[in-house]
């Protein structure tokens, strides 16, 4: 296999990895949305059971501590779910540095004119930019997956604590 064929194969594989990372990110965002909906519903249910002489108004002592701990864990789990879907580009969408072939991130692309971009793509070596983007996307995907995992675990623990208090109230 020639060096040009090897490079073309490497670019092809890199694009396949890019597509896989993109799909993985979409999937984890959907999981975070589901988690946030469930966590919000649980918090709304707790609010409905509080106030106006309802069941949770009569909770005192250690049970009240457990209740508030559960509510706090549910609140934290909701925050983590929101953090999963917050954009990760620092809001700057910076323009590429001189000599930098960054044309994979929309924050960079918006600074190019169509003609300049077309010319640059014809001359550019795509693999280095694509490789950098894969590393960046992988870090983002890893963070998102960890946060949704943490969100779900905290939601389960918080819900169990609240459920025990409600059952005993």
Q: Is residue 112 part of a domain?
A: no
Q: Say yes or no to pLDDT of 79 above 70.
A: yes
User: Domain containing 44: what range?
Assistant: 3-92+143-168
Contact 41, 34 (CB under 8 A): no
Q: Is residue 99 part of a domain?
A: no
Q: Is residue 151 part of a domain?
A: yes
In this prediction, residue 50 carries a pLDDT of 83
Average pLDDT over the chain reads 86
Based on the structure, what is the number of domains in the chain? 1
**Which residues are CB-contacts of 109 (< 8 A; sequence separation ≥ 6)?**
103, 117
Q: Is residue 73 part of a domain?
A: yes
Q: Is residue 25 part of a domain?
A: yes
In this prediction, residue 92 carries a pLDDT of 55
Helix or strand (DSSP H, E) at 78: helix 61-85
Q: Is residue 156 part of a domain?
A: yes
Q: Is residue 53 part of a domain?
A: yes
Q: Is 93 left (phi over 0), alpha (psi -120 to 50) or beta?
A: left
Task: Give dist(CA 84, CA 154) in Å, integer.
Answer: 15
Rounded to two decimals, the pTM is 0.80
In this prediction, residue 95 carries a pLDDT of 46
Q: Is residue 131 part of a domain?
A: no
């Amino acid at each position: 296999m020639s060096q040009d064929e090897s490079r073309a194969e490497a670019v092809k594989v890199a694009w396949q990895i890019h597509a896989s990372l993109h799909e993985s990110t979409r999937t984890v965002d959907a999981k975070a949305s589901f988690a946030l909906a469930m966590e919000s519903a649980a918090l709304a249910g707790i609010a409905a059971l509080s106030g106006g002489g309802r069941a949770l108004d009569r909770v005192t002592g250690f049970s009240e501590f457990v209740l508030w701990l559960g509510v706090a864990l549910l609140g934290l789990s909701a925050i983590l779910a929101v953090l999963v879907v917050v954009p990760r580009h620092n809001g700057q969408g910076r323009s590429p540095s001189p000599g930098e072939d960054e044309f994979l991130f929309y924050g960079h692309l918006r600074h190019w004119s169509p003609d300049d971009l077309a010319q640059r793509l014809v001359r550019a070596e795509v693999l280095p930019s694509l490789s950098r983007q894969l590393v960046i996307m992988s870090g983002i995907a890893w963070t998102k997956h960890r946060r949704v995992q943490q969100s779900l675990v905290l939601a389960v623990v918080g819900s169990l604590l609240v459920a025990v208090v409600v059952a005993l109230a």
